Structure 1
Amino acid sequence: VWAADFALQFRQEFGRDIILDMYCYRRLGHNETDQAAFTAPMQTKRIEARPTAASLYGMALRERGELTEQQEQDIRKDLWEGMEQAYLQMKENPADYILPATAQDADETPLPRTSTRTGISLELFQRIGSILTELPDSFTPHPTLEKRFLVRRREAFREGGLLDWAMAESLAWGSLLTENHTVRLSGQDCQRGTFSQRHAVLHDFNDGSLYTPLEKLNHGTTAFRIYNSSLSEASVLGFEYGYALDSPDALVMWEAQFGDFSNGAQVIVDQFIAAAEAKWNQKNRMVLLLPHGYEGAGSEHSSARMERYLQLCADDNMQVINPTTPAQYFHALRRQVHRNVHKPLIIFTPKSLLSRPEAVSPHREFLASTRFREVLPDPDTPAPGQVTRAVLCTGKIYYDLAAYRKERNISDTVIIRLEQIYPLAQEQLTYLLAPYQKVRDFVWCQEEPSNMGAWGHLRNRLGRLFATSFRYAGRPSMACPAEGAKALHAAAQKRLIAAAFGPRAQS
């Protein structure tokens, strides 16, 4: 305790890191069947001869006159009897200590959730927009940010403007702050944003001083906190997971610089985020932001390994979404705090969509009666009587499919977006496809190789839901997530888009 206190004081006084180097020993073996004396007999004998930590502490307290020997024995007795009583109580009423069994196929029939409307008032929309776009008179932003970022934001928040992803994100954060929820994000270069899209913290061009617009909404115990973290994903995500446990009403997020950086935090994902509720009934609202999308950036920076998270999905343990519009992202963040269940949220966030002209949202999609939609209909609403093909997809690929269909004036195909991949919104999905009774060609299209992405998770589920087999349009199985050359990527992307529309489209 003294060493920890000293280290904290040193860090606070000098603003430098300090390391506690602790030497420990295990009194017993690795488990109940192990005997450390098999391999370390001399060390084991020394450990056995040494008094326990509790005995040493009791001795120190007695020497200081703070505890009598009788008091020490009474404390030990009370602790032991308390544990024994709890054990006997558990044996007498085991049902009180066993979690209720989940549905046999919980991934198909998730636990009920309350539909949550997460839109905000026009007044709040405008107030936050003003905070995000007005700078102090004494602050000088970088000239490029002033011309390209702040001017665009001001135009977007005016009547009739369109909001991009970074604006929608800041709007969600600001609205939660006004509702007394702390908002916290950590990740590599997350203050600026890996793709130079966020700029939640601005740097004065003349003197380097910092200005964080959303901090104007801090009040009482509510705070906006955003931290650039080191490339130590397991430690940072583990810390944020613990923070989220202790702050269940806060929006706590961790962002990987690229989605595949979460590889370094896989132990936290596997042992805690995916399994903690099943193992310990430990509920958590942690949010992971994982940039994902195929733009020819090579095998290391294309895929956030969607398939790994979906493989962990069962028993309604977490949510996995891949939103395609800024408004959907806005509602997903607000829903995470306002809904009546606590589940981790995995968000596959975009890269190229951050600035794609079509990937924007009008004001009305953020206001009062709106909410997150697990499945999005085809905005072009093809005539049901002409449609013979249904293409289902998730994420960025939707925009490529829609552009291809428009360029070739294809009228026999409807495109449905799965914004939430797990839990699968079966009723919404069947409702959206119900008008298209002539569909005989059901297609799943994805950018990822067939042994990756959502295909392996959805293939049988979609087949059972529609009592038919789905045709696959995407990259073939691959050992690495993406091609290593831009030209190869472009050729593969062109082939899979054409394949979604059938053999004639490929010729």
Structure 2
Amino acid sequence: VMSILLHGDAAFAGQGVVYETFHLSDLPSYTTNGTIHVVVNNQIGFTTDPRMARSSPYPTDVARVVNAPIFHVNADDPEAVMYVCSVAAEWRNTFNKDVVVDLVCYRRRGHNEMDEPMFTQPLMYKQIHKQVPVLKKYADKLIADGTVTLQEFEEEIAKYDRICEEAYTRSKDNKILHIKHWLDSPWPGFFNADGEPKSMSCPPTGISEELLTHIGNVASSVPVEDFKIHSGLSRILKARSEMTKNRIVDWALAEYMAFGSVLKEGIHVRLSGQDVERGTF
């Protein structure tokens, strides 16, 4: 399994989750053993120029925090893109580390159907309108080289157009509107095929006081004999033991009892994060 993430250039530089994910990339129990990040760098973030969107020269500079290799490639050259992607995949498989492919390209039209980029980037889009589309540019090269004929190229284009048109026609089929059970992705067993709840009742989840007392006692004890614990922790355990004995529960003990009851049913519980080891929260 190879993890591949597709990013936009403005999002890659501007969203904190990208930076956070890179710092998780090589941690035990979190690593994907290398992710290939493909950045579609159209050199504009909706209407924002790069000089107004980031302080670094490239949108991919955030990947330097983990020394990930970054390949900047001209997206108007399909063969160069294929070569770089092949190198990136080989790097990931060899070293099990993250790698970034920066596809330097342009956005021919607006951010969406209502966006007119000439309003905010007139000079940029004058240049873009002069650009020969990459498909035509590459097709002309292959035809000139004798790799394909003009007829073969036109047949492939027509074939792809048919696939798109047929899919568009099928999308108008009214029957699709009735398939809520996969469009809404409800939990199996919770909803019927029409997307309505099967039942509003909840199964009982309570446990006996005897089991709660047992969990409270375990939670206030030290599992290893003759183990000297910190005096501050000793006071916490003693207070927890007193609460259990007096049938009093605070938030922390309630959480302990919830985790303990799940564990008693044979379900693993994993606590993770910078605060849980010391029990800050």
TM-score where L is the length of structure 2: 0.41
TM-score where L is the length of structure 1: 0.25
Structure with a larger share of its residues in strand: 1
